[in-house]
């Protein structure tokens, strides 16, 4: 399928009422088959979104073996760990891609002036919305589909995800190639293919977000216990299902 034609609108985008015909078949696809289909179907109108966790690194490595010029972006909150920024440099060097960094319209200083200091400690949902959700919404307006590295067993909000689905929150196709993988499968792939990963994973950080809202987990804790510790929150909002409108 010609990506230029898709970008010019000659090939119609896959719409909400067409998803069902793809879903049943897609549930049996491998991650590699899913990625190949996404690149073929959407051309340059699909991009991989990554925060460069272990799952994201698997997806990036797989994509590099299917399409050398795959597109990759990240939501840079400007509060990420130094290890995360260092990993971005390694990715660009190893895979020959340029990571597009998408930012909030507010700098950290502007956010503090508008909402007060340490917003993440007082209203983490608002902080996530300003620094993650709205930047992603702005980015996705330019795409027909986005590819994520979520897994069903990560959180309850992700448990009903499909490999190919309609994203009602952002109004485009969402593709989740490794949603049925386990953490063990992810790490086996990383070690088997010598995939680079965030150094914080070796320091008991199984899930890595912003510096202010991420800590190492203790023995016996859930893998996402280090995200927003002490709060009844385990999602930033990017993968939350939009409530049905009456």
Provide the 10 A C-beta neighbour count for residue 206. 18
Radius of gyration (C-alpha) of the chain in whole angstroms: 18
Dump the DSSP string for 72-140.
Answer: EEEE--S-B-HHHHHHHHHHHHHH---EEEE--SS-HHHHHHHH-TTHHHH-HHHHHIIIIIHHHHHHH
Mean pLDDT, range 85-101, rounded to an integer: 98
Q: Give the pLDDT band of residue 158 (cuts 50, 70, 90).
A: confident
Looking at residue 228, what is its pLDDT?
87
**Domains delineated in the chain:** 3-213 (3.40.50.620)
pTM summary value: 0.88
Residue pLDDT, tens place only, 33-87: 999 999 999 999 999 999 999 999 999 999 999 999 999 999 999 999 999 999 9
Mean local confidence (pLDDT), 139-151: 96
Give the pLDDT confidence score for residue 14 in this predicted structure. 75
Residue 204: predicted pLDDT: 96
* Predicted pLDDT at 229: 84
Question: Any catalytic annotation for residue 128?
Answer: no
Task: Tell me what pLDDT residue 127 has.
Answer: 96
CA distance 80 to 213: 10
Burial (Cβ within 10 Å: 0-12, 13-18, ≥19) of residue 13: middle
CA–CA distances in Å: residue 60 to residues 14, 52, 98: 23, 9, 12
Give the active site residue among 127, 128, 213, 236: 236
Mean pLDDT for the chain overall:
89
| pLDDT > 60? residue 4 | no
């Amino acid at each position: 399928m010609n990506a230029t034609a898709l970008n010019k609108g000659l090939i119609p985008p896959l719409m909400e009422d067409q998803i069902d015909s793809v879903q049943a078949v897609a549930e049996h696809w491998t991650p590699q088959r899913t990625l190949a289909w996404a690149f073929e179907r959407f051309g340059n109108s699909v991009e991989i979104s990554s925060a460069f966790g272990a799952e994201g690194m698997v997806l990036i490595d797989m994509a590099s073996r299917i399409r050398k010029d795959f597109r990759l972006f990240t939501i840079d909150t400007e509060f990420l760990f130094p290890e995360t920024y260092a990993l971005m440099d390694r990715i660009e060097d190893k895979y020959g891609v340029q990571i597009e960094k998408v930012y909030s319209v507010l700098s950290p200083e502007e956010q503090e002036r508008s909402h007060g200091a340490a917003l993440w400690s007082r209203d983490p949902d608002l902080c996530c919305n300003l620094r993650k959700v709205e930047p992603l919404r702005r980015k996705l307006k330019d795409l027909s589909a986005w590819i994520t590295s979520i897994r069903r067993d990560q959180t309850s909000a992700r448990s009903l995800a499909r490999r190919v689905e309609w994203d009602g929150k952002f109004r485009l196709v969402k593709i989740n190639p490794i949603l049925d993988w386990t953490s063990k499968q992810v790490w086996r792939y990383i070690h088997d293919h010598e995939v680079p990963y965030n150094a914080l994973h070796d320091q008991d950080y199984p899930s890595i977000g912003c510096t202010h809202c991420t800590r190492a987990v203790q023995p016996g804790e859930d893998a996402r216990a280090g995200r927003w510790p002490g709060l009844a929150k385990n999602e930033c909002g990017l993968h939350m299902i939009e409530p049905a409108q009456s």
